[in-house]
Each structure stands twice: as structure tokens, then as C-alpha cells.
């Protein structure tokens, strides 16, 4: 617990209380900021080369009779992402940026499509392809002005999945503390888990940039 508290004090681990249980989550945001500041300019080419070598060496021998991933039935997986970021802007400004996500949301199923977030309970969060076509990311379950956005929906997962995410805004020293929580269960593989963890980190950074810009 002492070692965990050191990580909490350093901002690398966040703590969530679930009844009598204490859940410790690795916060990807400060790690990403450290990576962008110190490692990315120097290590990108080396990392790409090393990973390419690893993947090539680990490829199965085509002569071997092995079952491929596509031969396996889809399994059940889970997603539990939690992250925090401190933004040097007032809660009202951050909340406005968050609920205007249709203007900056980075993901698109189709290039050039519109993303719409209806900032009200029961409102849809979706991608509009025109003529009534599109894809639903989720539906707003709870909305508290300047404090909370809670959405339930597949969030881009194409298979069967139960998924909810929320962003909670709290006053913090010289700004706002934003806490993200995204939990999902269903047809989610390890690659998807990594993709969503990285995607939410990028989205929190976008919110910070647009709130303070």
C-alpha cells in the first residue's frame, strides 16, 4: 500500500472506491505526456524497428498446421479504463468543450461525416452519414451541468457489447479535474482494449487543448 500511495501521489495511479473494495487504476494520461515530452522525439524510429522485428520473428511458420484467429469463436472480454487529467480552465468552459464534441471528435467511420452530440438526457451521440444513415455511439443517460456526462452505448464496437462511460468534472487547484471511466463487457479483444485506452487518452488531451486554447 505504501508503494501504491507513492504512485498515487505521483499522479500515475487513480483510486476508485466500490463499496468496501479499493480499485487502483493506472492512469495513462501522465504516462502519455511523459512519452510525448521525452521519448517520442528520440525513440520513435527505434521502437518501430524493434516492434517490426518482434512481429516478424513471432509469425507462425506457414508450414505448420495451426488454427488461425479467424477459426476461433468470438470470446467475451471486458474493458475497464479510468484516467484523470487536470485542465487549467474553469469547469463551465471544460463542460462546454466536452458537450460540443461534435465539432472536434476525432473518430469517424466514414471520412467527412458529421458527429452529433445532443447534450440532454436521452440525447444521441452518433455519426451522421446523411439520408438517415449513420452509426450510434451511445445515448446520454445522465447529464449534470458543469459536472457530469454519462453515456451508454457501443462506442464503435461492432460486435455485441454492453458499454457505459462517464466524465466527471470537479474543481481543482487552478482549474478542473476531469475523471474518465469507461467500462464494457462483450466481444472485446486485447487489441480493442489497447485501442480504447489510447483513444481516450488522446480525447482527454483534445479537451484540455480546446478548453485552454
Query: pLDDT tens, position by position, for the chain (213 residues)?
Result: 788 888 777 777 888 888 888 888 877 777 666 666 655 555 555 555 555 555 555 555 544 444 333 343 445 788 888 888 899 999 999 999 999 998 999 888 998 899 999 999 999 999 999 999 999 999 999 999 999 999 999 998 877 889 999 999 999 988 999 999 999 988 888 788 888 888 888 898 889 999 987
Could you tell me the residue range of the domain that residue 95 belongs to? 77-213
Q: Residue 80 has what DSSP assignment? A: E
Mark whether 16 and 103 lie in a shared domain. no
Same domain, 92 and 192: yes
- 156 within domain boundaries: yes
Q: Is 62 among the domain residues?
A: no
146 shares its domain with 178: yes
- As separate numbers, helices (DSSP H) first and strands (DSSP E) second, the chain gives 5, 9
Q: Could you give the C-alpha distances from 120 to 84, 149, 205, in angstroms and in order?
A: 24, 9, 24
**Separation of alpha carbons 201 and 208, rounded Å:** 11
Integer Cα distance of 40 and 67 in angstroms: 37
The three cell numbers of residue 13 are: 495511479
Amino acid at each position: 500500500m505504501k508503494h501504491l500511495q507513492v504512485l498515487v501521489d505521483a499522479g500515475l495511479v487513480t483510486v476508485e472506491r466500490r463499496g468496501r473494495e479499493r480499485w487502483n487504476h493506472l492512469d495513462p494520461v501522465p504516462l502519455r505526456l511523459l512519452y510525448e515530452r521525452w521519448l517520442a522525439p528520440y525513440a520513435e524510429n527505434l521502437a518501430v524497428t524493434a516492434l517490426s522485428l518482434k512481429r516478424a520473428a513471432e509469425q507462425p511458420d506457414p508450414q505448420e498446421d495451426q488454427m488461425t484467429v479467424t477459426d476461433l469463436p468470438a470470446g467475451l472480454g471486458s474493458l475497464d479504463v479510468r484516467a484523470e487529467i487536470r485542465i487549467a480552465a474553469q469547469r463551465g468552459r471544460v463542460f462546454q468543450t466536452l458537450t460540443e464534441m461534435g465539432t472536434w471528435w476525432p473518430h469517424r467511420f466514414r471520412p467527412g461525416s458529421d458527429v452529433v452530440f445532443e447534450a440532454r438526457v436521452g440525447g444521441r451521440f452518433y455519426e451522421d452519414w446523411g439520408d438517415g444513415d449513420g452509426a450510434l455511439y451511445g445515448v446520454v443517460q445522465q447529464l449534470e451541468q458543469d459536472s457530469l456526462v454519462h453515456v451508454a452505448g457501443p462506442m464503435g464496437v461492432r460486435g455485441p457489447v454492453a458499454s457505459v462511460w462517464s466524465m466527471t468534472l470537479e474543481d481543482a487547484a487552478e482549474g478542473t479535474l476531469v475523471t474518465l471511466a469507461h467500462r464494457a463487457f462483450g466481444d472485446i479483444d486485447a487489441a480493442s482494449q489497447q485501442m480504447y485506452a489510447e483513444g481516450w487518452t488522446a480525447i482527454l488531451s483534445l479537451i484540455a487543448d480546446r478548453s485552454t486554447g
